[in-house]
């Protein structure tokens, strides 16, 4: 199949998008059957010095790292050293959920699909506490991460101890509740270490990065100083009703939780890596995973939103304008990223940027939309309006806070439920019982207690409890 890409149509929509979100630099590439189809660098890797970027510029990739962690797990399964159905405690005996009686039920599958039952917790912030404490710009990160209480977590043993000691209730039995968990992937990193006998980082390097020739992909921050083609990181702050974008050069690290999101890479390397999922486990003639393992990773295991599923370290949309879409985003200090695969079309895509808290997925999906001759803003999802009583909606009003640093304020004004951010009310569209769509197209869902009153919100892929 021959594919063509209308670069003019895409860039007419993408350039204003980049300007609206004040993105200093964005690197976007599409491949077809491993061959370049389209590349565009927007802005700079360093806007002060006006340094250009290209497909080999190094950016952070944040949570896109989670798929590498799952490839490592599947590689170990292919080698007969573990099974995704194994209990976590088989490999990490000191692992324990905060609530007794459920730990033995937790499998590697539950870690990989964010269904352990863990709510959003503060452990990830403690794992990167040394970086945050040394970074005066941390206050301008999208989440409130500067008020952490506790000692830094530097080892997997400390990670397990902290998770077990938290005074929180799990959401449900393992397998029954989806809530995105960085900590679950921290535990996965420990599983790789214990099952292989080498560090998580070493296992990924030796069994994924080197065989696939991902020569510009690495964990070690010290490696950044050895390279010229690396982006500056940026943050935003509000001054006099204007958003100011400024340099924030310190890269964050979390030694005990690198599996959750601490790889650095390039568009070209990510496009090469995605061949694993496009080409049934083979990259450049080298088999990284078995076909069966790729199928398990890209299977829609858990529906977390209508029509959206989680595989293993990957999100899966079974019907993206008639095609199966495999994707994942990442967000970290100075990072908003997204990667995607449409196996049936042989298409892979990668987008890396140097500013946090921007909708990177929308920009890369816009490129896919143009490729499929749809509008840049087209959506493969349709939602029907739903009438929910004002009485029910009013039970949703309140503030929802997680120790991870997220705070969501819900208000009811003029007959509409909405989110309040920076003193601005943004109405939500009701599309189901306790289910809404934001103005940005995000799904927001409320969970009611036995009295029919909302007690948790699903927001940003997390289940967050209402403040009491």
The model's confidence at residue 413, banded by pLDDT at 50, 70 and 90, is very high
Q: Summarize pLDDT for 89-102 with one digit per residue, the tens.
A: 999 999 999 976 79
pLDDT at residue 348 in the model: 98
Tell me which of 5-14, 49-58, 133-142, 186-195 is least confident.
133-142
The model's confidence at residue 148, banded by pLDDT at 50, 70 and 90, is confident
Residue written as token pair 């998580």: 200
pLDDT at residue 219 in the model: 98
User: Residue 219: which of 273, 261, 156 has the closest Cα?
Assistant: 261
Helix (H, G, I), strand (E, B) or coil at 234: strand
Report CA 60 to chain centroid distance, whole Å.
Answer: 12
Q: Summarize pLDDT for 382-403 with one digit per residue, the tens.
A: 999 999 999 999 999 999 999 8
Mean pLDDT of the chain: 96
Q: Summarize pLDDT for 181-218 with one digit per residue, the tens.
A: 999 999 999 999 999 999 999 999 999 999 999 999 99
Domain boundaries, the chain: 1-382, 390-465
pLDDT at residue 93 in the model: 97
* 108-134 per-residue burial string, b: 16 or more CB within 10 A, e: under 16: bbbbbbbbbbbbbbbbbbbbbbbbbee
Query: What's the CATH code, domain 1-382?
Result: 3.40.710.10
């Amino acid at each position: 199949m021959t594919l063509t890409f209308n670069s003019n149509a895409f860039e007419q929509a993408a350039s204003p998008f980049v300007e609206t979100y004040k993105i200093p630099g964005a690197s976007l590439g599409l491949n077809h059957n491993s061959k370049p189809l389209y590349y565009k660098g927007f802005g700079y890797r360093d806007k002060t010095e006006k340094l250009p970027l290209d497909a080999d510029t190094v950016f952070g990739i944040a949570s896109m790292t989670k798929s590498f962690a799952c490839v490592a797990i599947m590689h170990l399964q292919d080698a007969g050293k573990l099974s995704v159905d194994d209990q976590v405690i088989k490999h990490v005996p000191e692992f324990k959920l905060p609530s007794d009686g459920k730990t033995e039920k937790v499998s590697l599958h539950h870690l990989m699909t964010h269904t352990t039952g863990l709510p959003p917790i503060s452990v990830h912030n403690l794992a990167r506490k040394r970086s945050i404490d040394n970074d005066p710009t941390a206050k301008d990160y999208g989440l409130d991460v500067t008020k952490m209480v506790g000692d830094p977590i530097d080892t997997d043993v400390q990670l397990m101890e902290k998770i077990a000691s938290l005074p929180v209730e799990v959401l449900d039995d393992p397998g029954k509740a989806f809530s995105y968990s960085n900590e679950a992937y921290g535990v996965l990193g420990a599983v790789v270490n214990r099952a292989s006998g080498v560090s998580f980082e070493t296992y990924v390097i030796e069994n994924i990065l080197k065989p696939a020739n991902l020569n510009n992909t690495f964990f070690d921050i010290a490696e950044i100083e050895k390279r010229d083609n690396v982006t500056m990181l940026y943050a935003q702050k509000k001054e006099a009703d204007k958003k100011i974008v400024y340099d924030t050069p310190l890269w964050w690290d979390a030694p005990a939780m690198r599996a959750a999101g601490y790889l650095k890479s390039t568009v070209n390397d990510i496009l090469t890596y995605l061949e694993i999922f496009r080409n049934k486990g083979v990259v450049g003639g080298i088999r990284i995973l078995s076909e069966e393992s790729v199928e398990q990773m890209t299977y829609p295991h858990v529906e977390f939103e209508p029509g959206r599923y989680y595989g293993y370290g990957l999100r899966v949309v079974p019907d993206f304008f008639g095609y199966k879409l495999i994707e994942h985003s990442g967000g970290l200090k100075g990072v908003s990223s997204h990667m995607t695969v449409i196996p049936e079309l042989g298409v892979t895509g990668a987008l890396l940027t140097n500013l946090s808290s921007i909708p990177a997925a929308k920009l890369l999906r816009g490129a896919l939309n143009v490729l499929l001759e749809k509008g840049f803003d087209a959506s493969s999802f349709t939602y029907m309006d739903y009438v929910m009583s004002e009485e029910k909606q009013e039970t949703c009003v309140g503030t929802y806070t997680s120790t991870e640093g997220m705070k969501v304020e819900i208000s009811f004004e003029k007959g509409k439920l909405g989110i309040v951010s920076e003193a601005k009310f943004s109405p939500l569209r009701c599309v189901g019982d306790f289910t809404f769509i934001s103005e940005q197209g995000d799904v927001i869902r409320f969970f009611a207690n036995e009295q029919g009153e909302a007690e948790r919100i699903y927001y940003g892929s997390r289940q967050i409890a209402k403040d009491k």
